[in-house]
Amino acid sequence: MRIRAQGEGGVVVELGDGIDPAVNARVHQLARAVAARLGDEVLEAVPSYRSLLVIHDPLRTPRERVVERLRSLVEELEHAPAIAPHRVVRIPTCYGGVHGPDLAEVARLSGMTAEEAVRRHAAPAYLVHFLGFTPGFPYLGGLDPRLATPRLDSPRARIPGGSVAIGGVQTGIYPVESPGGWRIVGRTPLRLFDPRLGSPFLLAPGDGLRFVPVDEATFDVIAAEVEASRYLAEVEG
């Protein structure tokens, strides 16, 4: 464990060095412990692959106090069993066609059929390592290495919200229309960021996620239900 400063009100706790699901699971465990135990002393905690940024008001809680509390929480965690994602959110996804213009190319680069690429992409329960880039964008761990494909040479100016894409060894979902250089293999009718809702984020850091292939007709039905705020995301476990 390493503790570093980010400004006068930020403490970064690093729990490992690389992108590793076991390290990331620890990060989420620490984030939950901070929320449960240090709620009065810290303002918020932001997880990423291998570290947790803990933000506090140094006029209310001195840095030394926050660091000391974090050290003892991490020590306790070392003796606690690692925990799997507490829920797996099912993401209906229409692969290929108009919704996944790069599926054929991803399959070709991976040396497999489009059907095989979809099967492999929809197989794992991915871990939401953290959210960033745009509100609600999940950085997912667990992509089949055979599906890893380089980013586009020139990013697209507009990617529709809900697009499911692969960039290098990562896969993710664009929550809102934005520019982006990842290859689009499909699209979900779900909204990962829905400003109309009181809690607008579909996913939380540490969640599990599985893509469930659906056809275009099903995509349209679910999209209409989402539009009418009638769709409830399915959760495994």
Partner 1 sequence: MIAVVKPGLLTTVQDAGRFGHRASGMPVAGAMDRLALAIANRLAGNDPGAAALELTLVGGTFRFEWEVIAALAGAELPASLDGQPIPTGTPFHAPAGATLTLGVASRGVRAYLAVQGGIGVPRLLGSRSTYARAGFGGFEGRALRAGDRLPVGNAPGHASPGAALLPGEFPELAAPGSTVTLRVIPGPQEELFHAEGLETLHGTTWKVTTQNDRMGYRLEGPPVRLRGAADIVTDAVVPGAVQVSGDGRPMVLMVDCQTTGGYAKPFTVIGPDLRRLAQARAGDGVRFLRCTQAEAVAALEEERSWRST
- What residues make contact with partner 1 under the rule CB under 8 A? 4-10, 12, 17-19, 31, 43-53, 55, 58-59, 62-63, 130-137, 139, 176, 193, 195, 200-201, 204-205
Under DSSP, is residue 35 helix (H, G, I), strand (E, B) or coil?
A: helix
| Number of other CB atoms surrounding residue 122 within 10 Å | 16
Nearest-angstrom CA–CA distance, 86 and 28 = 11
CB of 105 to partner 1, least distance (A): 25
Nearest-angstrom CA–CA distance, 34 and 38 = 5
**Which lies closer to partner 1 via its Cβ, residue 116 or residue 177?**
177
CB of 231 to partner 1, least distance (A): 20
**Which lies closer to partner 1 via its Cβ, residue 49 or residue 95?**
49
**Which lies closer to partner 1 via its Cβ, residue 52 or residue 118?**
52
**Which lies closer to partner 1 via its Cβ, residue 2 or residue 146?**
2
Element (H, E) at 70: helix 63-79
CB of 194 to partner 1, least distance (A): 11
Nearest-angstrom CA–CA distance, 44 and 84 = 23
Element (H, E) at 103: helix 103-110
**Which lies closer to partner 1 via its Cβ, residue 107 or residue 131?**
131
Q: Strands 208-213, 88-95: parallel, antiparallel or unpaired by DSSP?
A: parallel
**Which lies closer to partner 1 via its Cβ, residue 7 or residue 81?**
7
**Which lies closer to partner 1 via its Cβ, residue 150 or residue 215?**
150
Residue 201 and residue 166 in contact, taking contact as beta carbons nearer than 8 Å: no
Residue 46 and residue 52 in contact, taking contact as beta carbons nearer than 8 Å: yes
Tokens 């020139």 belong to which residue?
Answer: 154
Provide the CA 183 distance to its chain's centre, in angstroms: 17
| Number of other CB atoms surrounding residue 109 within 10 Å | 16
CB of 112 to partner 1, least distance (A): 29
CB of 47 to partner 1, least distance (A): 6
CB of 199 to partner 1, least distance (A): 9
Under DSSP, is residue 128 helix (H, G, I), strand (E, B) or coil?
A: strand
CB of 150 to partner 1, least distance (A): 15
